[in-house]
Each structure stands twice: as C-alpha cells, then as structure tokens.
C-alpha cells in the first residue's frame, strides 16, 4: 500500500482546489489501495468545507510562509533554507510517506538529518499567469515578482515532477522543467441532473476577489438587465470584495437583478435551477466551476483567458468566448442565449458532451496509473 501525503494551506474554503483535492482523495481510498494523509499548514485549520472519507487522515502542522520584513524577503530570495518546513519534514520522515504533493508554498526541501527518500510533486493549481501578471506598476513589486518567479522555477527544478491542469501551462513550464504531467480536474457525472434551461437565472460562481473580475460581470449585466428585466444574475461565493461589489450593484440600481448569494454547499442544485453560466476570471487554472456548470447542461459565456477556459469552452459550440475582455460583447452574448431558447439548449447539450470527457473515472484512472509508475 503506497502512502500518499498532500499538503495544502487549508480545506476550510469553498474553492476549486479544495473541492478537487477532497474529491480525489475520497475516490482513491474508496476505489484503490492507498494510505492517504492531508496536512494543512494554516494555524488550527483542521476542518474541511467538503466531506472527507474517514479513511483519510487530516493533520495540522502550522507553517508561516509570510515574508513581512525586508530581511525575511532577502533571506527567502538568496538563501531559502526552507527552515519553516522543519516540522513537516520530520513528520514525513516519521511516517515514511512514498509520495508527497505540495498544493501550496511547501517545497519539501528542508535539509534535515534523516535520509528518508520520497517522491516530490509540485501541483500547480493555478495558471502560470498568476506569477507573471503584467498589471503591476510598482518597481518594487515588479522586482519582488521576478524573484518570486525565479524561486518558483528553482523549487520545481528540485522536485521529481510538476503537475499542471492544462497543456498550455505544461508548455510554459517545459521551458524550465524536465518532467511535467498534465492532470485536468474531473467531475462525477453519474448522478448529475440536467437543467431544463427554463429558469430565468444566469449564474456565476467564484471567490469575490480581484482575479475573478465580478466587477466586469456586474457592469455587463447592467446592459442585459435593461433589455431582459425578467432575468436575474446570481453570484455564488464569498471574499474580500463583497462590500465593494454590493456597492456597485446598488449604484447601478440592480439590487433586484443581481444577487450576491454567498457560498453554499449545494452548488449543484443552483446549477440545476439556472440556464446560463458566465465566467469572467482574469486567469484560471482550469475552471472547475465551468466544468460543473457544463455537466448540468449549461451553455457558457466566458472571457477568453489562459488556463482551462479555452479547453472547456468551444466558441460557438457550447458557448461563447469573449476576446479582449469586451464587456459590451459579453452582455450581447448573454442576451443572445437568453433570447434564443433553441440555441441555449443546443449549446447546453454540447456542454454536457464535453463535460463527460472529464469524468471522475477517466481522470482518476490517470492519477492511479501515474502513482503506480512511481
């Protein structure tokens, strides 16, 4: 029985990374012979937003990766001793894990005394664009970003393997790294019902943070609401921009048209009662919420961006890809799907067909085959 360790900051959030990891470990212990432990590194983080099979052990080892002072940043850039990972390293040695996967800042590179050997995997749950955002104007931040990217490359070079969600990300990292494996997100399509696409609801799901750009969605929906006043936009998720987005909704007099619904555990039920999915993220690792919406037969309107958006959304087939983050065109395409019931159903059916390519059985067999070769 192989012993697998996954390290992540927390499982308490309702994000895609948390959902994908808990779904993976649950499937592995239920269908294969693995001994699995998840270590969370945020202090006192021992709960999971999503259900975890009792066979999976959940352990908290607090690690602070914050670099607040100049001295700490310089040490991180030039020396990078990884001393903050000492307790994690000792835990790995004590329990003799075979494969250890980092889904966060953990590097497994602390130099301890014990020589236990294990296979190191870095899972890139976000697209490379997150490290290379070009909208930073501060010289200091640009320098810090450069060294942070340099460090990310250095750390991954010392890993045995890097995992990406898309071929696009794999192609980028292949310029710096030798071994890269593409493992997309998956979805359990077996028990998912199809939306009738009759409810006058447009849905969006994601953290209320800058990178999801719900501001653009609300601005676009202002145009939609005037033409189709009977339709509503429901946004599911929580985050630091909740008050700012609500202020924008109030300013646009959309309080009865655009509703911030918060995070819910029954998100599948919300897809089922919606008719169009909209995605406006600036960058996306894969887009698990897009895949979930597609599995429920929803057509998708999305800003074209790096990551899984272009993999999942086929322009004019199962939805529309909007170039150059054009808010007016976004509104126009939402309106097109609202006004054309036949098109909405045809694109929704195509969404469902594409979603089945990412079934849990297909993707988890790939994970099992990968682990079996190590």
pLDDT in tens, 209-241: 999 999 999 999 999 999 999 999 999 999 999
DSSP string spanning 129-168? GGTS-S----HHHHHHHHHHHHHHHHHHHTSSEEEESSHH
CATH class held by domain 2-186+359-372: alpha beta
Task: Select, from the ranges 103-117, 299-313, 329-343, the one with the highest average predicted confidence (pLDDT).
Answer: 329-343
Q: State how far the alpha carbon of 257 is from the alpha carbons of 79, 233, 235, 368, in Å.
A: 53, 6, 11, 45
Instruction: Give percent of the chain with pLDDT exceeding 90.
Output: 74
Q: At what angle do helices 341-355 and 288-295 cross, to 10 degrees?
A: 120
Closest-CA residue to 123 (of 321, 286, 356, 333) = 286
**Local structure of 206: helix, strand or coil:** coil
Enter the tokens of residue 188.
């359990």
Q: What is the CATH code for 201-358?
A: 3.40.50.2000
Examine domains 2-186+359-372 and 201-358 and report if their fold is the same: yes
> What is the structure's pLDDT at 78?
59
For the chain, which residues make up each domain, given as ranges? 2-186+359-372, 201-358
When the pLDDT of each residue in the chain is averaged and rounded to a whole number, the result is 91
Taking the CA atoms of residue 47, residue 50, residue 56 and residue 57 in that order, the dihedral angle to the nearest 10 degrees is: -10
pTM of the model: 0.85
149: confidence class by pLDDT, cuts 50, 70, 90: confident
Dist. CA 133–CA 354, nearest whole Å: 30
Rounded Cα–Cα distance for residues 66 and 350 (Å): 44
Q: Contact 269/263 with Cβ under 8 angstroms?
A: no
Of 65-79, 90-104, 264-278, 329-343, which gets the smallest average pLDDT? 65-79
């Amino acid at each position: 029985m192989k012993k697998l360790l996954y390290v992540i900051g927390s499982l308490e959030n309702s994000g895609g990374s948390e959902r994908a990891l808990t779904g993976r470990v649950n499937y592995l212990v239920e269908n294969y012979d693995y001994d699995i432990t998840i270590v969370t590194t945020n202090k006192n983080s021992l709960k999971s937003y999503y259900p975890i099979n009792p066979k999976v052990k959940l352990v908290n080892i607090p690690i602070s990766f914050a670099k607040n002072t100049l001295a700490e940043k310089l040490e991180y850039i030039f020396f990078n001793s990884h001393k903050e990972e000492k307790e994690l390293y000792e835990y790995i040695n004590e329990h003799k894990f075979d494969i250890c996967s980092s889904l966060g800042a953990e590097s497994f590179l602390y130099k301890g005394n014990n020589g236990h050997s294990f296979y190191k995997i870095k899972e890139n749950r976000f697209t490379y664009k997150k490290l290379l955002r070009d909208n930073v104007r501060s010289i200091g931040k640009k320098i810090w970003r450069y060294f942070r990217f340099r460090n990310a490359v250095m750390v991954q070079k010392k890993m045995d393997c890097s995992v990406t969600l898309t071929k696009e990300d794999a192609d980028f990292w292949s310029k710096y790294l030798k071994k890269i494996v593409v493992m997309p997100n998956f979805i359990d399509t077996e028990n998912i019902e199809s939306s009738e696409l009759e409810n006058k609801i447009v849905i969006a799901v994601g953290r209320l943070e800058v990178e999801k750009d719900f501001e653009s969605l609300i601005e676009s929906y202002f145009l939609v609401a005037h033409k189709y006043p009977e339709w509503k936009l429901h946004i599911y998720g929580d985050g630091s921009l909740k008050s700012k987005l609500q202020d924008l909704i109030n300013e646009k007099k959309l309080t009865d048209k655009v509703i911030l619904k918060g995070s819910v555990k029954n998100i599948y039920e919300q897809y089922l009662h919606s008719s169009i999915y909209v995605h406006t993220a600036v960058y996306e690792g894969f887009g698990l919420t897009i895949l979930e919406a597609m599995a429920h037969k929803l057509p998708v309107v999305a800003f074209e961006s790096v990551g899984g958006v272009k993999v999942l959304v086929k322009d004019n087939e199962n939805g529309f890809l909007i170039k150059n983050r054009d808010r007016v065109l976004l509104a126009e395409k939402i309106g097109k799907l609202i006004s054309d019931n036949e098109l909405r159903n045809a694109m929704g059916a195509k969404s469902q067909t594409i979603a089945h390519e990412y079934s849990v059985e297909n993707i988890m067999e790939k994970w099992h085959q990968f682990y079996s070769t190590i």
